[in-house]
Structure 1
Amino acid sequence: MDAHSAKDPKDATDTTNATTPHDRTGTLDEALQRLHTTGPERDGWLSNHAPMVAEALAARGQAAAVHRWLDTYADKLEDFPSPVAPVTDANWPAALGDPRRAADWITYFSHATAEGSWRDLLALWWPRLLPGMYGGATLPVIRVGHAVRALLDGGVNPPRLTELAHGLGYWAARHQPVSGVTPLPGPPDSPATARSALDAVPPVPRLQGGFTERLARVGQLPLWSDEVSDPDTARRRLAELVRATTHRYATHGHGNATMLVHAATAPNAVLRTLPALPRGLWVPSLHAAWTASAAVTAMYAPEEAVPYVPAPRGITGDDFLELALAHGEEHVIKLTDTALDVADDQALAAALRAIELSAPINS
């Protein structure tokens, strides 16, 4: 399929004023338009979390808080980057993984989403991008997952298509495969659970350095779900992985309060995207999500776990989101969003743990 194929009729059924069930005000679309003049990163490598937080708040019934939160985050936004040279259907391999080409990639996908079916475009590019989901500390795939949820839950309109283009373009620019990882035998329980497999991940030697330096030290990861070949089983296992990584944050998040959020939110982004993908892509999506979660677990594992502290009884899901919003830190809000998907006591305890470990946005 060419990236500029004819528009699919099912994508054209709702192209104006589409809103999510939780955002009937159009606030999300206003926020996305506001943010699309900004770049995907700041300071050369830190990700712009604002579109993801805006979508999470709108999807959870907090649209009224979106612009107020964006105002607090505004100092962390940079202008949209300058283009280098156009990305085309012929030359894209040479531009893949080049962060200097972020504007070129976003422009390419913006044209493609405007001219063709976004689902077909996603089906074409997902397997191309999936091996490089570690780039940008997994933030690009997380941004794509939020964009897809907005499209699936609320329908198709220009701001949401443009947001998908920004997410895919960021992913293509930061595309970074992982290599040299030796598979280890899985944990002895049969079948191995996601939690036992995460517990069996060998931590990398403790070192200073950023994500890329730590990723290069990941040498061994346990096998988990590599035998899965059925799409429905892959989807169930992916949901299990999201639950296990979210639960684990409650006892291991102090290894790195920010980065270990991604061990849960990256596979959840993949899980949210599955309904928009052909079923044939579900199994490789599971395998890539496991490798990403396991690698982040290895890179930021604490020396010891802390005891699990249950969340206080009587606090509702809305209460947890209000607490996260009052705290304001972007990773706290996004982990709370994932914890509300998991929707059990330990997941909500993980959300509270993130609030405890993270500095508030205005600190």
Structure 2
Amino acid sequence: MNRASMTEALPAAYERLHVYGPEFGGDEEGNHGLTNHGPMAVEVMVRRGLDIDVDGWLDRYVRRLAELPGTNEAIQPGEWGMALGQARRLPDWTAYFRHELTERPWPEVLVEWWPRLLPGIVAGSTHGVIRVSHVVRALCGTTCAPARQTLDELAHGLAFWAARYRELAGVVAPEGTRTPQQALPAVTRLTDQGGFIAHRLDRLEHSPGWTASLRSLEPAASAEEVPARLESLVDSAAKAYLGLGHGSPVLLVHAATAPNAVRHVLPVLPTEQWLPSLTAAWAAVVALVAMYAPAQPAPFTEIVRRYPELTREDALQRAAEHGDEHVLKFADTAAESYDRTGNPELLAATLHAGELIDRP
């Protein structure tokens, strides 16, 4: 990691991005809009030291964004539950967390709010937890006092998660016998995969296969097993993209990046929060696969053969040259999986994402 870049370039990028909201487009409530991936993408670029002009990338990216609205009414500490999931309160949530992070150390704030927000892990198509995780990596990656802009990014991430909070009904802890590699292909797909994600989530909660799919995964016997279980889940989801990605190239990226987000926050959390974090991460993966993955995967082996063998550095640089924010984040996650497993199919998956997702 380039510490100078993390302490200088990244806060400067955050400064540019914080005049904009976390979503753009959609209706007056912000529903059915697109997510602002700028803060997450630049964290990957800077941490990885990718050969990409961050300022030039931002010049192009910010043109599509919408300004962050002004605040309406302050969120009171004892009344936060009533404001969860209220999209119009996003600026109020941002102000609330900014205040919290000036009063207390950031790990203390995160540990308090993680279990409150975790049941709403699907918030903003899982981008709430993903955005929080990327800035946590930035905060943990520097030995200096946190920059104001970096703490502000944590406030923005937590605020987005809280404002977009959407709790899934019927979530149960894993109690089956399947590994992630066995459980992912067996997730029951929605019969009707049409409509926006909110419509699909409504159908998912009432679908007969929802809780059965959640139960099918083998549980962790203790909190100490959770990091390895999350790694296995991330590795399996990244590899599965080769056969499933064509079903929804952008949304299915998050089946790998969402559990990876949870994995990266674990070291900051007390161990009693680890098992619920695994349950929530698996629920997010099952939801995305059920709602967007095709019933019949594409021929995995044939897809792998289409791509040349790469080094990890080549895979990351190709993602940088592609320039799409989803490709960058997925390549970052798949490269970590490759580092753990040495499986070249994971690097092929990064090329596959670049083929399925349009260049900006």
Q: If the length of structure 1 is used for normalisation, what is the TM-score?
A: 0.88
- Does 2:179 align with 1:193? yes
Do the aligned partners of residues 316 and 222 (structure 1) sit closer, same or farther apart at CA in structure 2, a change above 3 Å counting?
Answer: same
Give the 3-state SS of the residue equivalent to 2:184 in structure 1.
Answer: helix
Q: Is the 8 A contact 1:194 1:224 kept in 2?
A: no
Say if 2:22 is the partner of 1:40.
yes
CA contact (8 A) 1:28 1:63 kept: no
Contact 1:226 1:287 in 2 (8 A): no
Which residue is equivalent to 2:158? 168
Letter paired with 2:330: L
The alignment partner of 1:349 has SS state of helix
- Secondary structure, counterpart of 2:3 in structure 1: coil
Offset, 1:224: 4.4
Aligned to 2:351: 352
Judged with a 3 Å threshold, the aligned counterparts in structure 2 of structure 1 residues 318 and 184 are, in CA distance, closer, same or farther, namely closer
1:143-162 paired onto structure 2 within 5 Å = 143-155=131-143, 156-162=146-152
- 1:49/1:314 Cα in 2 relative to 1: closer, same or farther (>3 Å)? same
Matched with 2:86 is 98
> Residues 253-312 of structure 1, C-alpha deviation per residue, up to 9 Å, x if partnerless?
001001001111110000011111111111110000000001100001113212223375
Distance 2:347 2:4 in 1: 21
Bigger drift between 303-312 and 148-157 goes to 303-312
CA distance in 2, matches of 1:201, 1:64: 38
Structure with a larger share of its residues in helix = 2
Count of equivalent residues:
339
What runs of 5+ residues in structure 2 fail to find an aligned partner? none
Alpha-carbon distance in 2 for matches of 1:21, 1:316 = 24
1:300-347 Cα offsets, whole Å, 9 max, x none, are 111321222337555222211221122111111110111111113122
Q: Which residue, out of 95, 114, 130, partners 1:107? A: 95
State the match for 1:256 in structure 2: 248
Q: Which moved more, 1:73-82 or 1:221-230?
A: 221-230
1:217 is paired with a residue whose SS is helix
Amino acid across the alignment from 2:155: A
1:179 is paired with a residue whose SS is coil
Unaligned runs of 5+ in 1: 1-18
Match of 2:199 among 203, 213, 217: 213
Query: Cα distance, 1:25 vs. partner?
Result: 6.9
2:57 corresponding residue in structure 1: 69
Could you tell me how far apart the structure 1 residues matched to 2:115 and 2:218 are?
17
Residue in structure 1 matching 2:304, options 285, 307, 310: 310
Indicate whether 1:329 and 2:324 are aligned: yes
Matching of residue 49 in structure 1 with residue 37 in structure 2: yes
Contact 1:140–1:171 under 8 Å retained in 2 = yes
Percent identity of paired positions between Structure 1 and Structure 2? 41
- Is the 8 Å Cα contact of residues 85 and 104 (structure 1) preserved in structure 2? yes
Secondary structure in 2 matching 1:39 = coil
Query: Contact 2:257–2:333 at 8 Å: present in 1 too?
Result: yes
Give the superposition deviation at 1:22. Answer: 7.3
Q: In 2, distance between residues paired with 1:300 and 1:287?
A: 20
